């Protein structure tokens, strides 16, 4: 919008690029606009561009297309910018028919604007289909009490990863309680080891801490009240206690002193623990897959994983977990192929072939009765831990930044980053969140 102040050549260059892009855009939309109506045609399935994992999606589409007159077509986009692209197209007339999402905040706007197919009646009609998914994961995809997403890939609880070799070298046992954890922190810092790797340049990596602490201290209800927008919900003592504990952990050197410079994308935090410079990493199950790919030696010999410790005196269930329950596929209401799209999801999302492909890629899909198929997993031991963790969890809290209203997520992350930098205390954190609400 300030392009008129650019030097002329780049201004004209921008114009040229703009024209080119819009021409491309129009022609790209044209192909599928003509396919509406009738029994044939194609419908688009939007997914992320991840080589190892697209195998499962491609397989599902191939199997479905064999027996269907309407053909599914994969449209893969890079992770960066996927949500921006999705949002722009959801506001236009060229929406995707089926699209990959994170549930919660990533589709709430679309659900409320009546752009998505409410899947509740389909699940009610076909209870066998509904029962083929783990209930806690299916329910985490609800918006305002209705289902809008079908679980599409692996479950991603936050797990406490630890480097077995570092623990052995320093004679420390994996922490089962908060007291253990703080003792381990002191032990590691005095030996020059960073207790927890943290990619603090991205605030979402810090969010896992209050998510678990609040759950352990006050139970799942505390955050449910916040997510529901209840008055004074942020003032629950569990919130300020958690923030105080985080500040204490930071002050004691729990994350070293340069965590704020480490970005997630450079895999800096994952390298720290793999190379033994850090002892632990509180991260989603995708950390396991990353280590298998990037540091296979470490992943094979030294990568340990346990649930988040209990907090003494807390009322939360120690089996409760937080994280990203899974990714979902949702269907656009505007699609010319709603029935075909749902048929596709019904046939494939819990099919043995689809599940096995995910297991092979290191993911553990949110499908019930998976115990018998564990042998197909890349690492059966890890797959079993994740599966049991989710299967036994009374609640699976969706990441806070996805669970609360979008406009409040960024202020919450900003405030938390300040807490981790020692610039904000518990009262300030509560106030910042109340101001944003």
Instruction: Name the one range near another protein by CB under 8 A: 132-140, 280-288, 315-323, 416-424.
Output: 416-424
Q: Exposed, middle or buried, 189 (CB in 10 Å: 0-12/13-18/19+)? A: middle
Nearer Cβ to another protein, position 199 or 336?
199
Please give the backbone phi and psi of residue 185, each rounded to the nearest 5 degrees, phi first.
-60, -50
Q: 159: which strand partners?
A: 283
Residue 104 binding another protein, by CB under 8 A: no
Instruction: Name the one range near another protein by CB under 8 A: 154-162, 198-206, 231-239, 279-287.
Output: 198-206
Residue from 88, 315, 353, 427 binding another protein (CB under 8 A): 88
Q: Considering only CA atoms, which of 218, 246, 233, 204 is closest in space to residue 425?
A: 246
Residue 202 binding another protein, by CB under 8 A: yes
Structure tokens at 238: 């569990």
Residue 192 binding another protein, by CB under 8 A: no
Output the smallest distance, CB 316 to another protein, in A: 28
Please give the Cα distance from 361 to 56 (Å, whole number). Answer: 9
Residue 115 binding another protein, by CB under 8 A: yes
Residue 198 binding another protein, by CB under 8 A: no
Nearer Cβ to another protein, position 198 or 355?
198
Residue 77 binding another protein, by CB under 8 A: no
Please give the Cα distance from 161 to 305 (Å, whole number). Answer: 4
Please give the Cα distance from 430 to 432 (Å, whole number). Answer: 6
Residue with tokens 């409040």: 408
Nearer Cβ to another protein, position 278 or 342?
278
DSSP 8-state class, residue 49: -
Residue 263 binding another protein, by CB under 8 A: yes
Residue 110 binding another protein, by CB under 8 A: yes
Instruction: Name the one range near another protein by CB under 8 A: 10-18, 66-74, 171-179, 309-317.
Output: 10-18
Nearer Cβ to another protein, position 14 or 353?
14
With a CB cutoff of 8 Å and minimum separation 6, the contacts of 257 are none
Nearer Cβ to another protein, position 137 or 166?
166
Q: Considering only CA atoms, which of 278, 272, 217 is closest in space to residue 253?
A: 278
Residue 261 binding another protein, by CB under 8 A: yes
Nearer Cβ to another protein, position 91 or 121?
91
Residue from 30, 78, 91, 394 binding another protein (CB under 8 A): 91
* Total Cβ atoms within 10 A of residue 5: 7
Residue 254 binding another protein, by CB under 8 A: no
What DSSP string runs through 129-198?
HHHTB-HHHHHHTEETTEE--EE-SB-EEEEEEEEHHHHHHTT-PPPSBHHHHHHHHHHHHHTT-EEE--
Residue 24 binding another protein, by CB under 8 A: no
DSSP 8-state class, residue 284: E
Q: How many residues bind another protein (CB under 8 A)?
A: 47
List of residues contacting another protein (CB under 8 A): 1-7, 12, 14-15, 18, 83-84, 87-88, 90-91, 109-110, 113, 115, 200-203, 257-263, 266, 268, 271-272, 277, 406-407, 409-410, 414, 417-418, 420-421, 423
């Amino acid at each position: 919008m300030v392009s008129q102040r650019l030097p002329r050549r780049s201004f004209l260059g921008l114009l040229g690029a703009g024209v080119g892009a819009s021409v491309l855009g129009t022609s790209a939309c044209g192909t599928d606009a003509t396919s509406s109506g009738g029994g044939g045609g194609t419908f688009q399935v939007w997914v992320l561009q991840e080589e190892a994992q697209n195998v499962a999606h491609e397989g599902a589409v191939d199997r479905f297309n064999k027996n269907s007159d309407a053909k599914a077509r994969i449209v893969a986009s890079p992770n960066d910018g996927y949500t921006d692209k999705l949002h722009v197209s959801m506001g236009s007339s060229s929406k995707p028919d089926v699209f990959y999402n994170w549930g919660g905040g990533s589709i709430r706007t679309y659900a409320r604007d009546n752009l998505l197919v409410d899947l509740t009646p389909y699940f009610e009609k076909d209870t066998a289909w509904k029962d083929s998914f783990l209930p806690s994961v299916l329910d985490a995809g609800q918006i305002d009490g209705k289902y809008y997403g079908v679980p599409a890939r692996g479950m991603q609880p936050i797990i406490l990863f630890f480097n077995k070799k570092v623990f052995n070298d320093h004679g420390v046992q994996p922490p089962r309680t908060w007291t253990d954890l703080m003792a381990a922190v002191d032990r590691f810092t005095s030996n020059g080891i960073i207790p927890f790797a943290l990619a603090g340049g991205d605030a979402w990596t810090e969010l896992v801490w209050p998510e678990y602490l609040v759950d352990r201290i006050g139970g799942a209800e505390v955050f449910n009240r916040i997510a529901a927008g209840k008055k004074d919900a942020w003032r629950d003592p569990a919130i300020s206690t958690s923030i105080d504990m985080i500040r204490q952990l930071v002050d004691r050197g729990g994350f070293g002193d340069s965590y704020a410079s480490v970005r997630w994308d450079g895999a800096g935090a994952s390298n720290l623990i793999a190379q033994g410079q850090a002892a632990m990493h509180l991260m989603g199950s995708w950390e396991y897959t990353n280590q298998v790919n990037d540091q296979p030696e470490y992943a094979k010999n030294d990568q340990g994983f346990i649930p988040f410790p209990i907090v003494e005196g807390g009322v939360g269930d120690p089996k409760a977990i937080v994280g990203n329950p899974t990714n979902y596929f949702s269907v656009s209401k505007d699609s010319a192929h709603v029935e075909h799209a749902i048929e596709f999801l019904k046939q494939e999302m819990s099919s043995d072939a689809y599940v096995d492909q995910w297991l092979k890629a290191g993911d553990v899909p949110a499908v019930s009765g998976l115990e018998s198929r564990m042998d197909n997993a890349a690492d059966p031991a890890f797959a079993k831990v994740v599966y049991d963790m989710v299967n036994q969890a009374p609640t699976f809290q969706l990441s806070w930044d996805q669970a609360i209203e979008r406009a409040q997520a960024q202020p919450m992350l900003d405030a938390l980053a300040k807490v981790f930098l020692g610039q904000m205390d518990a009262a300030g954190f509560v106030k910042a969140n109340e101001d944003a609400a």
